[in-house]
Amino acid sequence: MKRTLLAFIRKELIQTLRDVRMRVLLFGAPVIQLTIFGLALSTEIKNINLAVISGPGDAMFGRVAEGFYASGWFKRVIYGSEAPFELIASGRADAVLIAPAGGLARSAARGDGRMQLLVDATNLTKARAVEAYARNIISAAAAREYGARAEPALKFDVRVLYNPAMESSMFLVPGVMGMLVCLITIILTAMSLAREREVGTFETIVSAPLSDAEVLLGKTVPYVLLGVMDAALVVAAGYLIFGVPVRGPLWQLALASLALVITTVSIGTFISTIARNQQQAMLGGFMFLFPAILMSGIMYPVENMPGAIIAAAYLDPLMYFVRLLRNIMLKGGDLHVLWTNLGALALMALVAAGAAYKRFKQTLN
């Protein structure tokens, strides 16, 4: 009995490990994911884009602003004639520090050295960090300029934009919506061809009087339609259940959803042409999804990550879609953000569809 059991266990191990694809999924994927988890998930917020606006000759405000940049948390934003709201709406600045009229020194001499800090709260984690950092930096600047006082000489008012109540649902729900659409389309599409092979119907499809492109379209267009329907469903659920607004035009939302779905369906099709069975297809889909979710900015800002991870994040379609969702739903759909991220998604869709078609032709042959 023991010999039979041991032989059966040995057979299962050999059957599982003899395929190179399965060995990569079993032993390569955990190492890759652990590396990304360790590097990408950081609670320390860095690389915050800060613009400062002041009048000429405001030396004290200049010293306060330099304190922000010297802290290592903030990056300088070079701007032209844009208004403070335009800098934040376009995504060029995460925060804008504005000097009081007449200069900070004169305002402080009147007992009201009060600056204004505009903060983009579409990313709630970053917005909270900006306020906390600003409080510490301005307190240190006041102590440096005036020494210890019972009443702080320098103060600031925070104006939180796009999520004034600082609700976590406004920040998390658009990201989770994008994650769900990505999950459904990639997993379903990745398993489609593998399922045809396992049940023995792939040969029937190949023998049909259809061109390679027609066969591929027949396998992918249904999932594109289902993905767009799912995108509409999760947007409606986010609005009705969590109260996440849709401040931008619906056509922008539809274009962004279509671009993501075409990209993820193409990626899922590519995975399905590599996998030999549904088990490999599902594991391959999750191997793509976990890093994509971690590097998308759903939970932590992409700017926090090391340079190599940021470079990899720019190959992540979910990152662009999350930016588009937050821009359209919370900011009202700034056109610069729309076309730059939509262009990146369209390029990725084209590359992914081309790679899937090439691999699919090889599979048919």
Q: What is the pLDDT of residues 38-62, one digit of tens each?
A: 555 555 677 889 999 888 878 888 8
Number of domains present in the structure of the chain: 2
Same domain, yes or no: 187 and 263: yes
CATH number of the domain enclosing 133? 3.40.1710.10
Last residue of a domain, one of 126, 142, 161: 161
Contact, 118 vs 159, CB < 8 A?
yes
Owning domain of residue 81? 48-161
Residue 3 lies in a domain: no
159 pLDDT above the threshold of 70: yes
**Considering only 24-38, 80-94, 299-313, 335-349, which range has the smallest mean pLDDT?**
24-38
Same domain, yes or no: 139 and 245: no
Residue 356 lies in a domain: yes
Percentage of residues in the chain having pLDDT higher than 90: 13
**For residue range 59-106, what is the model confidence (pLDDT) as tens digits?**
888 888 898 898 888 989 888 888 888 899 888 899 999 888 878 878
Residue 182 lies in a domain: yes
**Considering only 20-29, 179-188, 211-220, which range has the smallest mean pLDDT?**
20-29
298 pLDDT above the threshold of 90: no
Q: Quick check: helix, strand or coil at residue 114?
A: strand
Residue 28 lies in a domain: no
C-alpha gyration radius of the chain: 26
Measure the CA angle with vertex 277, ends 271 and 281; round to 5°: 30
Same domain, yes or no: 305 and 360: yes
Kindly give the residue spans of alpha helices, DSSP state H, lying in 243-316.
250-274, 278-294, 307-313
Same domain, yes or no: 195 and 313: yes
Residue 1 lies in a domain: no
pLDDT top residue among 360 and 62: 62
Q: Cα dist. 256→263, 282, 336, 356, 363 in Å? A: 11, 25, 14, 21, 31
Same domain, yes or no: 121 and 204: no
**For residue range 102-148, what is the model confidence (pLDDT) as tens digits?**
788 787 777 777 888 999 988 887 888 888 888 888 888 888 877 76
Residue 21 lies in a domain: no
Q: What is the pLDDT of residue 188?
A: 80
Same domain, yes or no: 319 and 204: yes
| Number of other CB atoms surrounding residue 352 within 10 Å | 20
Q: What is the mean pLDDT of the chain?
A: 80
Last residue of a domain, one of 115, 138, 161: 161
Sign of the torsion formed by the C-alpha atoms of 299, 303, 306 and 310: positive
Which tokens go with 329?
């739903």
Last residue of a domain, one of 98, 129, 161: 161
| Number of other CB atoms surrounding residue 112 within 10 Å | 12
Same domain, yes or no: 243 and 95: no
Residue 23 lies in a domain: no
Same domain, yes or no: 154 and 214: no
Contact, 237 vs 157, CB < 8 A?
no
Q: How far, in Å, CA of 319 to CA of 298, rounded? A: 8
Residue 284 lies in a domain: yes
Same domain, yes or no: 154 and 172: no
Q: What is the pLDDT of residue 256?
A: 92
Q: What is the pLDDT of residue 350?
A: 93
DSSP-derived pairing of the beta strands 95-98 and 113-120:
antiparallel
Same domain, yes or no: 143 and 183: no
Same domain, yes or no: 93 and 175: no
Same domain, yes or no: 138 and 229: no
Could you tell me which of 269, 179, 180 has the C-alpha nearest to residue 223? 269
